[in-house]
Structure formats: C-alpha cells, structure tokens
C-alpha cells in the first residue's frame, strides 16, 4: 500500500494515509526516505536511505527499493510504503511497482508540491497549459518548449546550473524559485536568470517556475526544415526547383535584405519587422538548396552548418586559436582572413577568385577590399562615377514605368 506524506508538515497528510499507517505494524511501515518534514507520522518504521547511500548511481536506487518491497510484502502480507508528496507525481518506484506482477498495488492519493505551487504562483495550470518537467532531465524534456514550465526536483545548485546551460536564450522575465512550500521557512523568490545558480540555496524541496522561454533556435530551425521538406514533397512550384532555377532568387533575396537594412533605424526600431522577414526569406533559400542537395545525396543542412562553423573557427585564430589575441585591430583581422582564405583556396594572386557573376558595383568593392589588404593601389573613381550615372538612369526609367513607386 503506497501512501503520500504530502508536500510539507503533518498538517497536510490525509486522513486516509494516517489510517493506513495505523493499520500496519511498525515493522511493515517503510519510507522511501526519512528526508521529509512529516516523516514522524509513520511512528516506528524503516527507510531505504541506505540504498541511496550505497548505490553507484541514482538509476540503481529505484529497482533496488522495489525488490526489497516485494520481499517485505511476501513476508508481512501487506506492507506500507510511504513516499514524499504524492505517490502519483514524480515517483519512479511507484511506476515500477505498477509494472511488477509479483505484487498487488494499492495507491492512496495525496497532496503534492504541485498543489501548493499553483496556489503560491496564483496559476491555474490548465488555463495556461503548464508543462511540469524534472530538473534532472530538463535538457531532454524541455527541448523546444516555450513555457510556462514548472521544473521540479531542483535539489542542488548543479541541477540549476544544468537548467541554465540547457536554455539557449535566457527568459525575457524573472523566474520564481519555490522552496520548502508549506513549512515555516517557506520561500517564494523572484530571481534573475543569471543569479539562478549563484544565490539560490537549493535542496530536495526546491522547484523553479519559468513563465516564458525565448524561442529555442534549434527547435525553430527544425520546424522550418520540416516545412521546407513538405513543400518539396507537395508544392508544385517548390518540388520542381533546382539549384540553377533558384539562383536568381538568392540574389533577389540578398538585395531585399540589403534594402531592409538601409531602411532600418536601429535607434527607433523602425523597419525591424521588415528586416526580420527579409532575413527569413534569405534563410528559406539556404534551406531549399540544402534540402535539394540532401535529396540528391550530396549534403544536408547539418553539413552546411558544420562546414561554415569549422571555417569560422579556422579563420578566426585570434578568437579560437591557442594564441588568441582580443586586442587585434580590424585591419589585421581582414588581412588575416584574406591570407587564410587564399591559402585554403590555393590562390596565387589577391584578385583571383572574384566571381564573374558579381554585379559591377559589388565587383569593384571586392577588388578594392582585396587591393587594400594586399597593399595594392587601385583607382576606380572613374568607373564608380560611370556606374553612378548608369544606375541613376536605370532608376529614373523604372520610376517612370511604375509611376514613381520604385526606390
């Protein structure tokens, strides 16, 4: 017979639990652990704290407790097994006992820490769709979640640190630490995310409330990949595209990003939505190309990410190298980048490898940058003036055709 000792002191232990305790002799009363404020309601009893102390890892504790309970049940006919909180919440031993055909299981419901948590937070968990996760498995259980989350069993600073590390971007608001609810030294504290594993004195009666998490980058990218894959399978336009047919759109989207950047005001934030949207359109082009390449068996998005990550690390020795130097200036960074790139590509001269498909102004800018890095004097003043005149003539004609709406 499994009973719960409630979330706090004896005042929250149910009458049914007390009756069950009385119905069992002391030698047939066992607690998973004596580390609980209401443990005294059991009177004389045994506990499995020795299993925690002797086990090599926590995963070994619960099967061992179950084996010992089965033996005790056979010995006494009926054995009382008391667990902290409710037997129905976060009790691995109860899960294992349910699956064990050697025993008949009776579970008496009890109050859990969750009941007190909802009260202290002023939250209806159904109304706001709360997800309850185990702090020890937070990285796996909360992957892709946006909140709200109640993180249980945050029983040490190490667990709080692991929770912090598992979150890609810190929550946009403070989190709430719930400690020792229902006891005289109860604490409900709002804490800044950065201070979570610095100022919180966590123990086995500590939980964490996270109202909201920022959009997890990995999860959002994964969902977008699935959308692109569905478009390739079911959209008549997307399914027929090739690398070559998409090439003009890559250029078009890149120019629209540049246009959005020019219209964006970083002080007022005007135009930020347009910039976000245009960057998304450009990312869509990258995903389309990666998806097509994956279909052909050449490479996938993960390969693209790996290649660019390795290249960025390789070409930034001042950041990632053994002799990292944060004091290096911008000119030296650009020169080192060009030198490393030339070595990787096997280029013999500073102007080799400039794409022939570059538009004139971009080609000029590329040549000027390469020339500056190589210490070569190049004068494009006349060429740039001619380009300005030609571009203005084209813009004037476009404005005439579309009625003055073109920039």
Return the DSSP state at 82.
E
Q: What is the CATH number of domain 114-214?
A: 3.30.950.10
Average pLDDT, the chain: 88
Q: What is the pTM of this model?
A: 0.53
pLDDT at position 36: 92
CA distances from 261 to 159, 230, 247, 248, 363 (A): 42, 31, 22, 20, 20
| Domain layout of the chain by residue ranges | 2-111, 114-214, 218-314
Q: What is the pLDDT of residues 69-101, one digit of tens each?
A: 999 999 999 999 999 999 999 899 999 999 999
Q: Give the mean pLDDT of 388-398.
A: 84
Q: What is the CATH number of domain 2-111?
A: 3.40.1010.10
Q: What is the pLDDT of residues 337-370, one digit of tens each?
A: 777 777 777 766 666 766 666 777 677 777 777 7
Domain formed by 218-314, architecture: Orthogonal Bundle (1.10)
Q: Which residues of 77-106 are buried (b: 16+ CB within 10 A; e: fewer)?
A: eebbbbbbbbbbbbbbbbeebeeeeeeeee
Length of the chain equals 407
**Widest Cα–Cα separation across the chain:** 102
């Amino acid at each position: 017979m499994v009973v719960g000792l409630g979330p706090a002191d004896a005042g929250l232990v149910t009458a049914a639990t007390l009756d069950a305790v009385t119905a069992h002799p002391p030698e047939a009363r066992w607690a998973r652990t004596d580390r609980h404020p209401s443990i005294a309601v059991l009177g004389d009893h045994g506990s499995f704290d020795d299993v925690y102390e002797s086990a090599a890892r926590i995963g070994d504790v619960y099967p061992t407790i179950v084996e010992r309970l089965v033996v005790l049940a056979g010995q006494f006919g009926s054995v009382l097994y008391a667990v902290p909180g409710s037997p129905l919440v976060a009790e691995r031993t109860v899960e294992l006992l349910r699956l064990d055909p050697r025993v008949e299981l009776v579970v008496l419901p009890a109050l859990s820490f969750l009941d007190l948590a909802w009260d202290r937070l002023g939250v209806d968990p159904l109304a706001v769709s709360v997800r309850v996760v185990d702090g020890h498995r937070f990285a796996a259980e909360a992957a892709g979640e946006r909140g709200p989350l109640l993180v249980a069993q945050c029983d040490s600073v190490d667990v709080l640190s692991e929770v912090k590390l598992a979150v890609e971007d810190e929550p946009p608001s403070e989190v709430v630490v719930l400690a020792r609810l229902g006891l005289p030294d109860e604490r409900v504290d709002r804490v800044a995310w950065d201070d979570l594993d610095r100022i919180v004195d966590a123990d086995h009666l500590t939980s964490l409330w996270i109202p909201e998490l920022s959009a997890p980058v990995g999860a959002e990218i994964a969902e977008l990949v699935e959308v692109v894959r569905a478009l390739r399978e079911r959209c008549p336009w997307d399914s027929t595209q090739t690398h070559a047919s998409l090439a003009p759109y890559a250029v078009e989207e890149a120019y629209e990003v540049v246009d959005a950047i020019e219209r964006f005001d970083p002080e007022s934030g005007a135009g930020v939505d347009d910039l976000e949207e245009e960057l998304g359109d450009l990312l869509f082009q990258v995903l389309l190309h990666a998806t097509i390449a994956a279909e052909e068996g050449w490479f996938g998005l993960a390969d693209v990410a790996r290649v660019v990550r390795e290249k960025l690390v390789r070409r930034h020795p001042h950041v990632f190298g053994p002799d990292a130097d944060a004091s290096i200036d911008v000119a030296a960074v650009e020169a080192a980048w060009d030198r490393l790139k030339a070595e990787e590509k096997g280029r013999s001269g500073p102007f080799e490898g400039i794409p022939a498909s570059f538009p004139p102004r971009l080609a000029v800018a590329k040549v000027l940058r390469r020339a500056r890095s190589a210490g070569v004097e190049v004068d494009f003043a006349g060429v740039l003036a001619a380009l300005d005149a030609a571009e203005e003539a084209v813009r004037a004609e476009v404005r005439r055709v579309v009625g003055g709406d073109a920039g």
